[in-house]
Structure 1
Amino acid sequence: MNANIHFKVDPVVRKNLDFALDNIGRHWFGNDPFKSRFFDSVSLLFPDGERYFIESVRGFRERIEDPKLQEDVKHFIQQEAQHSIAHSKMNDVLESHGLPVTQITAEANEIFLWMTRNFSPRFNLALTAAFEHLTALMAESFFGDKKDFAEADPYVRALLAWHAIEEMEHRDVAFDVMKTVGDVPELMRKLALPAAVLHMFGIGLIRTNELLRYDGYSRRERAQMFMQGLPWFMGAKGLLPKMNRQFMSWFKRDFHPSQHPVIAQYDVWLKVLAETQDPIQAGEAFWQAGR
């Protein structure tokens, strides 16, 4: 285990959280179609993606001898299962808005099944560790600065805040399985992160365009939306470049996810949820506590 682990928090399983997603509008992110549909496209990937993560880690479970890591894997699987349930509910709302959710999620499932069948168990595990690193960094990037999600619907923002919290809690589990029993070569580990980025954001942007087409926007209108929206996401001051430093640390030989601090307002979310048992209030407090 890496000696430079400084910021570790244990995963906690939370069930039956109600985010009142039936209340969200069609373009819930500041009435901006591009921003809304981009995050919707990622949500469409999550249910099948979470199941892929679970199976990739579960394939190595019997090799684990460390009781603490066994316990962490158990909680990782339970948390990911809850994420799949919650995003399936979000996707049901999107389907009620007239989007082709069943078709898109079936295609996503086929992609993850293809990966499972055609990649080695070691590479699927490395990809899972890379996806977990990426989603933990996205949590920091999206919620570190309050202005970035100021226009988001509070119900979706609360869903994403809870997901961010739990990504912070289990960000190192798949990585520790990979390092202790996965027998993953260093080059394979390093290549997994670019592959995860291409998968998540490449497919995400393709799906964004597809969802906007179903919204009725012409090819020209969609091109204009992408020209305006991509700098917000990928430009020099966009959401993704904020995580460049921590992203690049993956390629250091002594890297471990818990070398990075947990998001500053982590304790705020825990405190408000404990006091109110309301994930929407907890999500609002979490967002408000950003810089």
Structure 2
Amino acid sequence: MGDVHKDIIPRDIHFGISKAAQRHWFDNDLQKTAIIDCFSVALPEGERFFIRSLTHYASKLSDKELTAEIKGYSVQEAFHTREHLDYNNSLKALGYDVDKMEANLCATLKTIKSPMIRLAVTCAIEHFTAVFSFAVLRHPEVFEGADIRYRRLWTWHALEELEHMAVAIDVFKDASRDMPAWKRYFLRTGAINGVAVTFLINYLRNVGLYARADGEKTGIRFWTRFWWLLIVKPGFARFSLLAFLKYYLPGYDPAKERDEKLIDKWREWVDRETSDLIAKPKTAPAPELAPAN
């Protein structure tokens, strides 16, 4: 493979969340914290899946520029995997059953054997992470009251998701270039429908497990407030909905959604806020971060 693509910048940053694990780090609020922590639970296994899905096609693409992008993408995702493994270890130390939370996701991903379907699923999940990232960076007030250590990690992750947001779709377009356009469209949108349903079921289940680990009852009052936080204020879902629906447009191209001013603004913030956390010298992530099935 060639050099890492110039627009995709892997940052070898060690946030060390497990060394300073904090319960209810988001405004001292269980539900706000659960919204974010339960997202982290799914990330390490998901990111390994993404890396395998794209690298499978790296030598088969007609557009050789994509091979450099896949390399940059994979290094970024490997660093994300490392940091969210550490994050999840901090959750285990606080008494949350992360293994149980991860079990359904791991089992589901292992059932997907077709490389093309794996790639379509990767595109779908990457779209979810991109719209979440836009919400975080365009509306930084959603993290008001969050502990700065966690906010740094999520801002870094969101920035890098936007840097590589078009890679998976570009690989999908190239890999499916001989497929009729209608079939490619239904494969892409069918994958996001499946991902949305599966993710929501598992996510809500995990929020319940998380809350009960803290002795919180998960009745109507709990879920009413949870949905208020998700949709109204802080409103992660509200800020994400329109961007999410764009995926259903024929010919959807995430490269056209890329916001260079936003990316540049948060590159400066991340560089400033994490300058003391960057590994020196920079080291490539170990291959075991993305093990084969």
Shift of 1:141: 1.1
TM norm structure 2: 0.83
Tell me, yes or no, if the aligned pair for 1:26 and 1:97 is still in contact at 8 Å.
Answer: yes
Per-residue Cα deviation, 1:120-141 (whole angstroms, up to 9, x for no partner): 3222211111111221111111
Distance change (3 Å), C-alpha of 1:95 and 1:20: closer
SS at match of 2:251: coil
Change (3 A) 1:227 1:280: farther
Output one character per residue of 1:204-243: Cα deviation in whole Å (capped at 9) or x when no partner: 11100011111112343xx322111212213598321323
Q: CA deviation at 1:88?
A: 0.5
Q: How many residues align?
A: 269
Q: Is structure 2 residue 127 aligned with structure 1 residue 128?
A: no
Does the 8 Å CA contact 1:154/1:280 hold for their aligned counterparts? no
TM-score (norm 1): 0.83
> How far apart, in 1, do the equivalents of 2:277 and 2:231 lie?
28
> Residue 11 of structure 1 aligns with which residue?
8
Question: Counterparts of 1:157 and 1:275 in 2: how far apart (Å)?
Answer: 14
Structure 2's unaligned 5+ residue stretches are 279-293
1:233, 1:240 within 8 Å by CA — same for their partners in 2?
yes
Q: SS of the residue aligned with 1:63?
A: coil
**In the alignment, which residue of structure 2 is the partner of 1:146?**
140
1:186 is matched with 185
Residues 1:61 and 2:58 aligned together: yes
Quote the sequence identity (%).
26
Alignment of 1:28-177 (within 5 A): 28-114=25-111, 116-117=112-113, 120-177=114-171
Q: Is the 8 A contact 1:24 1:153 kept in 2?
A: no
CA RMSD of the aligned region, Å? 2.5
CA spacing shift, 1:86–1:278, aligned 2, 3 Å: same
| 1:258 and 2:255 matched | yes
CA distances 1:21-65 after superposition (whole Å, capped 9, x unpaired): 533421111111112112111111100010111112222222113
Q: Quick check: 2:230–2:236 contact (8 Å CA) kept in 1?
A: yes
SS of 2:224's partner is helix
CA distance in 2, matches of 1:206, 1:9: 40
Alpha-carbon distance in 2 for matches of 1:78, 1:215: 35
How far does the alpha carbon of each residue in 1:149-173 deviate from its partner, in whole angstroms, 9 at most, with x for none?
1011111111110110110011111
Query: Which residue of 1 is the match for residue 228 of structure 2?
Result: 231
Paired with 1:275 and 1:10, the residues of 2 have a C-alpha distance of 19
